[in-house]
Amino acid sequence: MHKIIAVLWAATSCVAMAQAQTDVASTSAPAAIAFTLEQALSAAGASAPAADAAQAGVAAAQAARTVAGLRPNPTIQTELENVGGSGAYNGFDQAEITVGLSIPIELGGKRPARVAVADAQAHRALLGAAIAQADVRLQVTLLYIEAVAAQRRGTIAADQLRIAGNAYDAAALRVRAGRASPIEEQRADVARLNAHANADRTLRLAMAARTNLVRRIGQPVDAPLDEGLLDRLPVAVQGPQQLDSRGTLAMAAADADLSTADAGVRLARSQRVPDLTVGPGVRRLSATNDVAAVFSVSLPIPLFNAGRAGVAQVRAQQQMAQAQKRMTALDVEQAITDAQAEADITATLARNAQGPAMAAAQEAARIARIGYREGKFGQLDLLDAERTLADTRLAAIDALAAHHNAQARLERLTAPAPQEEY
């Protein structure tokens, strides 16, 4: 136990020196051209099936708007009378032919109400396209972050494999020199095999994450990913921001659904007014071979279906849309609060994990390696220091990835609705 305390005490005293060495190494390394998140988002936006489906929905809604503004078609009617009877009406000699044109006239404001519904649906389709784009952006961002985190975990696993190999070589030398028991070599061999299995597992996970990203963006990625994305953290947590659901895509969609329901109520009310059909025509009188004008007017009697049930149905749908809007506001505001809190917490955790804790763990592992080679520390001290370093590095990656995931979700939740109106 006193040896472990000595390792940690020495590591703490060397934190500043280790951090300075890390900064120098990071600044001297050449930066490779990386495939950035913005490039991934741009590539995904051009090939996302969800965005294509949303655009098709917009085109369909615009066509429906055109259809809603059209007037009903007239109808040509032909009547043949006084044929196929008896006596003088046995043949076609007494036939009378009437040719007329039936023109429906919509009353009650049906056409403007129908156009209003189509306008509301077209606007909702535009919002659906914006929502689809925001969802694609979130999906690609999460996949990119996961791929970067998996890539960095693979680097750590490879480094741990190298360290385990060096520890095994050192243990073998100590055993051959008679300075340690053969069990140390066996223990080091087990640690090396475990490190090899972990490296293979992390490599496969990194390949799977990269494959999922490539599949989502629709193009191969030959360049390395931008690992520096994970290290970009806010300078300091300024406290919770006053974010709400107003102006977001979710609330705009709820408003559009409510507008569609309101327009549906007006349309149902207009349907209660019967339409008028007028029919000017011409009739040929076979008896005198004269031609006379015919004019017909028809008006349906709302006896069995007066439209009350239809109005009650759309009013219930309107009430449902109003309740859904209130539910959406509550859900979005709760999700925004949770995402914001998670982003702040994970930023603090990542900042702590990357700071003194990381430097202390690195220095403790360095001292343990030197002390083990020189016989000052036992193998268990070395394994414990290496395990602590690996856990600290992985905890930092997990906290960084969780922060950027929460930040991406927060940006999706607070994404503003487009200002263009249909």
What pLDDT sits at residue 386? 83
Is residue 252 a contact partner of residue 127, using CB atoms and an 8 Å limit? yes
Domain presence at residue 58: yes
What pLDDT sits at residue 236? 62
3-state helix, strand, coil in the chain (%, to 5): 70, 10, 25
Domain presence at residue 212: yes
Domain presence at residue 78: no
CA pair distance 233, 344, nearest whole angstrom:
10
CA pair distance 32, 29, nearest whole angstrom:
9
In this structure, the dihedral spanned by the alpha carbons of residues 355, 359, 361 and 366, taken in order and rounded to 10 degrees, is 170
Domain presence at residue 248: yes
DSSP string, 8-64: HHHHHHTHHHHHHHHHHHHHHSPPPP-B-HHHHHHHHHTT-HHHHHHHHHHHHHHHH
What pLDDT sits at residue 283? 86
Domain presence at residue 369: yes
What pLDDT sits at residue 14? 37
- Residue-number span of the structural domain to which 399 is assigned: 2-26+34-71+111-272+332-413
What pLDDT sits at residue 181? 80
Residue 102, H or E segment: strand 96-105
Domain presence at residue 305: no
What pLDDT sits at residue 420? 59
What pLDDT sits at residue 239? 55
CA pair distance 143, 40, nearest whole angstrom:
10
Task: Tell me which residue of 401, 407, 412, 383 sits closest to 205, measured CA to CA.
Answer: 401
What are the start-end ranges of the H helices in 229-307? 249-271
What pLDDT sits at residue 29? 42
State the total domains in the chain: 1
What pLDDT sits at residue 334? 93
Question: Which tokens in the block code for residue 420?
Answer: 């263009």
* DSSP code, position 416: B
Report the CATH number at residue 258: 1.20.1600.10
pLDDT, block means (10 residues), the chain with 422 residues: 39 37 40 83 84 92 94 90 74 80 92 95 94 93 95 90 85 80 86 91 93 91 88 68 80 95 95 91 81 89 89 95 94 93 90 84 87 78 84 90 94 86 44
- 240 — alpha (psi -120 to 50), left (phi > 0) or beta? beta
Domain presence at residue 359: yes
Is residue 3 a contact partner of residue 377, using CB atoms and an 8 Å limit? yes
Domain presence at residue 88: no
What pLDDT sits at residue 90? 72
What pLDDT sits at residue 222? 86
